[in-house]
Amino acid sequence: MTKKAERTTAYIIETVAPIFNKHGYVGTSMSDLTEATGLTKGAIYGNFENKEALALSAFEYNRNLLLSAIDAKLEENEGAMDKLFTLIQFYKQYDVFTLPMGGCPILNVGVDAQGNNTLLAAAVRETIKDIEGKIALVLENGAKSDELYLSVPPLQFAKQLFTMIQGAVAMSTMTRDRKYLINTLTYLEHLVKKEIKK
């Protein structure tokens, strides 16, 4: 692939990622994509095999932005508790972070793809596992260094924590009331201090 072709492919993905995320796989039309990119249908499909391949690339683009942001937050501090609190702070502003993406890619694509796109649904499940794994690693390291106490395996606690975070994201998104996000994340801070801090 030439440099120009690579730039065109990257431009298409970056441009259409928020559209697919906001309107869904079925809800995004070819005219939406040509209008946003300023390219013809032929030019778009010259870079992608089909709409499904483009939608998957768009999701992966948003997914990578999210995972990079989470990694950056987790690298800000040394201790496990500080890492958890930094992650919770990040999620308190998650609606602001995901605004340019067209909303939460896990929520939007995860719900949209369930009945109509097995590849996208699988990619979302993989992303959820990745995030839960990152949280579990922080917890595991914290338990090993005797910084925190876990009464359940790290991955189990990580799954519960992420379920509460993602639930807050969903409620906040559906009601258009960010108090769901802020209040739940504030409660999570309290829960983490009370349940696992030594």
Top CATH class of 3-195 equals mainly alpha
**For residue 95, pLDDT beyond 80:** yes
**For residue 198, pLDDT beyond 80:** no
Going by C-beta distance under 8 Å and a sequence separation of 6 or more, which residues neighbour residue 195? Answer: 151
Average pLDDT for residues 173-184, to the nearest whole number?
96
pLDDT for the residue numbered 5: 82
Q: How far apart, in whole angstroms, are the C-alpha atoms of residue 31 and residue 175?
A: 30
- Residue among 164, 120, 118, 157 nearest 135 (CA): 157
Show the tokens assigned to 67. 């995972």
Q: How far apart, in whole angstroms, are the C-alpha atoms of residue 195 and residue 191?
A: 6
Average pLDDT for residues 19-26, to the nearest whole number?
95
